[in-house]
A and B are shown apart, each in its own frame.
Chain A
Amino acid sequence: MNEILSFWAQWLRPSAGLPTVQWSLLLAVAAMAGYLTQRHTGLPKVVGYSLVGTVAGLAGFSGAVWPLQGIGLFLLELGIAIVLFECGGRIPLRWFRHNPMVLVQSITESVLTYFAVYWVLVWLQLPPQAAGPLALVALAASPAVLTRVVADTRAAGPVTERAIVLTTLSTLYALTLGSAKAELINRQSVTVLETVYPVVVVLGVSIVVAAVLALVLRMALRFMSPTSENTSMLFLALVAAGTAVAAHMGGSAPLAALLGGMLLKQLNPRPWAWPRQLGNASSLLTMLMFVLVSTVAAQADWSAPVAGVVLALIAVRLLAKAMGVALGNVGSGASWKQALWVGCAMTPMSSIALLIASQFVLASPSTGHVIAGVALPAILLMEVFGAVIATVAIYRAGESSKPWAPLTRSNNGESPRES
C-alpha cells in the first residue's frame, strides 16, 4: 500500500487549493439550480444562484469572508464593473437634453429613497451614524439583477429601458456618495470642504480611469470590429485593469466602469453590438457575483428586532422608489402604469449595495457592525425577492418576448428550452 501511495505521490503537483475546488463545486451547483429554477418556475436564473449562495452561507461556507477583501472583493468589483460599463453605455447624455424629466425622475426617486429610509431608521432608534450609510446602501438599485432578469425574460420596451437607466443612475449616486461617506464615517464634525473633498477624490480618480478606459476602447473600435471576439477580450482585459487601478488609487472601480461606459457612448454613438460577444465568460462572472453576494449576506446575525428593521427598510425603500418614479413621471413620456412597473423593476438590491456596506464596515468596524447587521439581510432578501418583483413587473408591463414558462407548459404541454 505504502509503495502505491509513494508511487502516486510523485504525480501530485501543487494546485490552486481546496477553496478553488469548493468554489468550483458551489458554482456548478448554482448553475444547475439557476437552470432548474427557470425551467420549473419561470423565475430568473439569478433566483436559483442566490438561493444556492444563501444555503452555502447559512451552512457556514468559509470561502467568502466579510467584510470583502482580496480576490473575492476584486472578482465582485470586476463583475459589477462589466455590468455597469454596459449599463453606462445605455445612457446617451443627449437623451437628458431631449427629456430632462428622466433626470428629474432619477433624482426624485433617489432623494426620496434616501430621506425616507433615513427617517424611518432613525424613528426605529438606529443611530444616525448608521442610518445615513444604510440609506445610501438602500439607494443603490441593482443593474446586475435587473439586466439578468431582462436577459432571462428577453424583455425590451420602455419600462425595461427606463428601469435600467434609472437603476444605473441610482447606482452612480450611491457609489459616489457611499465611497465618500465611508471616508467621513469616523469623523465627529466635518466642514463643508471636508465633506466635499472625498467626493471630489472618488469622482476625480474614477473619471480619470473612466476617461482612459473610454479613450482606449474608442481608439480600438476605430479599427476593430465590434462583433469580434477579440474586441470583447480587449474590453474584459481593460475593465479588469481599470478595476484594479481605480480601487488602488482611491477611486471606485464600479463607478469608473459606469462613467467609462457613459463616456464611450458619448464619444462613440455607434451601436453597441460587442457586449453580446462577451458571452459565457461574462455570464460566469455575474453568476459568481450573485453567489458570492448571497453567501456573504447570509452570514449576517439574524434576530427578531433586526428582522423588523430590515422589513421596514425594504418596505419604505420600495414605496419611496415607486413614489419617486411616479412623482418625476410628469412630462417624462411614460404613462402612470409604466411608472409603477418601473418603480417595481428597481427594487432588486445586490452586489453594489454589498460593496458599499463593505466599505462602511472596513472604514469603521464599530458602526459598520450595526450597518452590516441590517444591510446584509436586506440585500439577501432583495436579491431574491427583488428579482421576482422585477420579473413580475416586466411581464405585467407586457415587455417580455418569452411567455412565462410554467404557464406555457400548462397551456399547451410545450417544454420551453433554456435561453
Chain B
Amino acid sequence: MSLEAFNHSEPLTLGVELELQLVNTNDYDLAPYADDMLRLMKKTPLPGSVVPEMTNSMIEISTDICHSASEVLGQLTPIRDALVKSADKLNIAVVGGGTHPFQQWHERRIYDKPRFQELSQLYGYLSKQFTIFGQHVHIGCPNADAALLMLHRMSRYIPHFIALSASSPYVQGQDTAFDSARLNSVFAFPLSGRAPFALTWEDFTAYFNKMTRTGVVKSMKDFYWDIRPKPEFGTIEIRVFDTPLTIERAAALAGFVQSLGAWFLADQPFMPEEDDYLVYTYNRFQACRFGMDAVYVDPATGDHMPLREHILKTMDKIAGHAAVQGASSAMHMLRTEVEAGQNDALWLRERQREEQLLAEVSRQAAQRFRGTPV
C-alpha cells in the first residue's frame, strides 16, 4: 500500500482525542460497557465522535476540528456531560488517567472489531496490556514538508508534554515510581518511539515504501510513534499525553501544543537535527519517571536543567503566540500547576496516601472527571 497524499488542513487547527476508562460503581474496577455506552451516546447529537477502543472497558471521544483551546473545551464539555449522563444510566462511571490503578490485564476482553481482533492475534498479551489511556492532539500543518518540520521540532518538547499530562503512576495495584508508566506499555510495541528523521515528504515516502516492502507495515496505523504524521487529516498527531483527569486540563494541553506550533510557524526558532535524538530517549525516560522533577537535557546545547524550569522558560517564549491563539488562560492554568510542581500523577498519589485504597482514588478521579469538586 502506498502512502496517501498529505491533505490540506488549516494551519494550527486542533483535534483532540481522549481515551477514557469505564468503571463499575461497586469496586471501581474496569467494566466492559463500551457497547452500551456507544449505544446510549448515539441518541445525543454531539460534536466529534465516540468510538470503541482495544478492550471493551475503554472508549474514545474526539472533537471536531477546533481553532482554539477554548473551542476544544467547548466541544469536550457537552461530550463529557453526555458521557456522564449515559454512565449514570448504566450505573457505571467514566474516569480519566493514563492507567487504571489496579485492573488486572488478563481480565480484559478485546473489543469485537476485526482490527482489534487482528491486533490481539498478532500481539498476544500485549494487546490486553494496552488497556492504557492516552490523549492524542492533532495540529493542522500548512503542507507535508511543514508537517515533518513541525513533527521534529515538537520532538524536543515531548518531555514537557509527558510531565504536564502524567497521570499513570499506578499499574496493577502497584506504585510504579513513574509519573507516567503508561508509556512503558507503548514501548513494548515494535515501531514505537521516535519517528525516522525525514524532513521532506519525499524522504518520508521513500522510508514508508521501504517499510511496506519489508511487509512489516501496511499503513500509517501500524506505526506507534510518539508523534506521527496523519496525511489524511493534514496534521501531525502527538500521542505521548496520558489522558488527564479533567477535560479542562486536556483542552489546556491542546492549547500548549497550538501555541508551540504557532511559535514554530511564525518564528522558525530552530532547525531540528538528527542529533536532537541523542538525548531523546533519556529525556523521555526522565519525564516519565520523575514528572515535574525530571532533568531536561537541551538537545542543542547539552545543558542539564530542571524540566520544570525549561517548561516555564518555554511558556515565556510562546506567551505572545498563546495570546494570539486565545490560549492564555490555558497557559495560565498549566503555569500555575508547574510552579507548584503539580500534575495529575501527584494528585493521584496524594489521594492514595490519604485513602490507602486505590479503588477510592478511582472513585474520586471519577468525581473529578464529571466536574464535581473532590
Q: Residues of A at under 8 Å CB distance from B?
A: 89-90, 92, 94-95, 98-99, 154, 156-158, 161, 225-227, 269-273, 276, 333-335, 398-399, 401
Contacts and interface: CB of A to CB of B under 8 A. Distances in A.
A273 B363 CA distance: 12
A394 to B, nearest CB: 12
B91 interface: yes
Interface residues of B, number: 28
Counting from the closest, the 6 A-B pairs by CB-CB distance are: A271-B359, A98-B88, A95-B91, A333-B89, A99-B89, A271-B28
B88 A273 contact: no
Interface of B: 24-29, 31-33, 36, 39-40, 85-86, 88-91, 106-107, 109, 112, 356-357, 359-360, 362-363
Nearest to A158: B36
A242 to B, nearest CB: 22
9 contacts: A98-B89, A99-B88, A154-B107, A156-B31, A226-B357, A270-B357, A271-B28, A271-B363, A401-B107
Contacts of B39: 335
A399 B91 contact: no
Contacts of A157: 31-33
Given A156-B24, A161-B91, A270 B36 contact: no
Contact of A401 (B26, B36, B109): B109
B36 A271 contact: no
A256 B29 CA distance: 28
A176 B106 CA distance: 41
Given A89-B26, A156-B24, A161-B24, A271 B33 contact: no
Given A271-B362, A271-B363, A92 B91 contact: yes
A401 B28 CA distance: 17
B47 to A, nearest CB: 23
A281 B244 CA distance: 41
A271 B357 contact: yes
A225 B357 contact: yes
Given A157-B33, A271-B360, A271-B362, A333 B24 contact: no
Given A99-B91, A401-B107, A270 B360 contact: yes
A333 B109 CA distance: 21
Nearest to B108: A401
Contacts of B356: 225
Contacts of A154: 107
Nearest to A102: B91
A84 to B, nearest CB: 15
A271 B26 contact: yes
Contacts of B106: 401
A262 to B, nearest CB: 13
B237 to A, nearest CB: 32
Given A156-B29, A272-B27, 6 more contacts: A95-B91, A157-B32, A271-B360, A333-B40, A335-B36, A398-B109
B120 to A, nearest CB: 14
B95 to A, nearest CB: 12
B20 to A, nearest CB: 17
Given A98-B88, A401-B107, A273 B27 contact: yes
A89 B25 CA distance: 10
Contacts of B91: 92, 95, 98-99, 161
A156 B360 contact: no
A156 B25 CA distance: 12
Contacts of B88: 94-95, 98-99
Contacts of A335: 36, 39
B357 A273 contact: yes
Nearest to B40: A333
B31 to A, nearest CB: 6
Q: Name the residue in A98, A225, A269 with the highest tally of chain B Cβ atoms < 10 Å from its Cβ.
A: A98
Given A98-B89, A272-B26, A156 B32 contact: yes
Nearest to A271: B359
A92 B88 CA distance: 11
A226 B28 CA distance: 14
Nearest to A331: B89
A333 B363 CA distance: 22
Of A154, A157, A401, most buried by chain B (CB within 10 Å of CB) is A157
Contacts of B362: 271
Nearest to A157: B32
